[in-house]
Amino acid sequence: MRGARTIRRGGDGWPPSLDRLPRPPAFLRVKGALPSAGERAVAVVGSRRPDEAGARLARRLGAALARAGLWVVSGGAAGVDGAAHRGVLDAGGRTAIVLGGGLDHLYPAGHRALFARAVEGGGGLLAEREDGERPTTWSFPERNRIIAALSEAVVVVRAGEGSGALLTAEWARRLRRTVFAAAPEGPPEVTAGLVTLVGLPGTGASVFREPEDLLAALRPAGCAPGNAPAGAGAEADGDAPGATATGSEVAWAGGGLAGAAAALWRALGPGPLLADEAARAAGLAAGAAAAGLVELELRGLADRLPGNRYARRDA
């Protein structure tokens, strides 16, 4: 893509917070700017089809965070992501958009003008894929880990059961970022995931209703990406990404999983399967399988291998 550049891991401009991931990108393709050292960034994510109140809240959050001098990171998708980006730009702030494909395959196509505004406004687009690579069902859950790693906190505005926003929140928890959830007021198809986030024993998301509530919670934290924030989402060192699960943990999780993750656990073996093969073996649609495979990886129950292959990690 014209005007884009490649940042190699460890090179000039590389976000060091990405090195906390168990599987950091080898490079980033970037157009525009990224948050630099000392600049604070918060992720705002959620459903592609929020209710009207959720979309309004996302836009107000983007504007409020921008006016407070924070970057907003999201995935550029329809719904909550796009509303948050627009709120930032309306307030004259900066936003970073993490794409699921290469920089010359912008998705959704209807957001091309929004993406251009983000770059013109001092923000940027980034991708861990080469130009020419189209986004896939599997690439969107993958990019969620980058959204979480670039941010000091993840804010989930709306999420149904199985929403990709919940995967971003789980990455945030693993990376010791704070997780915030909007008060689950609205249709269950876009708030059931918020109820789940809030109810997680010991690690539940902090609830907010207004942008001012969120800013009040963020301001005293004063933490930058790469440091452990206080509050919800913190966890013991032994639960960090990449930590090896013990035999008892594997045995418990393999028996206690539900839904897509459980079906994939049974379908996977020590010999690797392509993601598509695993989906077919588990009888799952590609979207559900993508979320389930990420869940298994997050729990330390499966390894992602080159070529988009997965193998179960046994004790």
Listed residue (116, 119, 47, 109) closest to 83, CA to CA: 47
How many Cβ atoms from other residues are within 10 Å of residue 167's Cβ? Answer: 24
CB 264 within 8 A of CB 282: yes
pLDDT of residue 80: 97
pLDDT interval class at 287 (50, 70, 90): low
pLDDT of residue 298: 67
Residue 133's alpha-carbon distances to 43, 127, 293, 312, in angstroms, are 25, 10, 21, 27
Over 50: is that where the pLDDT of 236 sits? Answer: no
pLDDT of residue 69: 94
Spell out the domains of the chain, with CATH numbers in brackets: 5-239 (3.40.50.450), 247-312 (1.10.10.10)
What mean pLDDT do residues 130-135 have? 86
**Comparison of pLDDT for 78 and 228, the residue scoring more:** 78
What mean pLDDT do residues 47-67 have? 96
pLDDT of residue 47: 96
The string of pLDDT tens digits covering residues 204-229 is 788 998 999 999 898 744 344 343 33
Distance between CA atoms of residues 102 and 84, nearest Å: 22
pLDDT of residue 38: 85
Q: Please report, as a single letter, which amino acid is at residue 208.
A: F
Over 50: is that where the pLDDT of 161 sits? Answer: yes
Over 80: is that where the pLDDT of 40 sits? Answer: yes
Over 70: is that where the pLDDT of 314 sits? Answer: no
CB 105 within 8 A of CB 135: yes
CB 208 within 8 A of CB 182: yes
The string of pLDDT tens digits covering residues 265-284 is 888 877 788 888 888 888 88
What the block records as the tokens of 10 is 């460890």
Length of the chain: 315
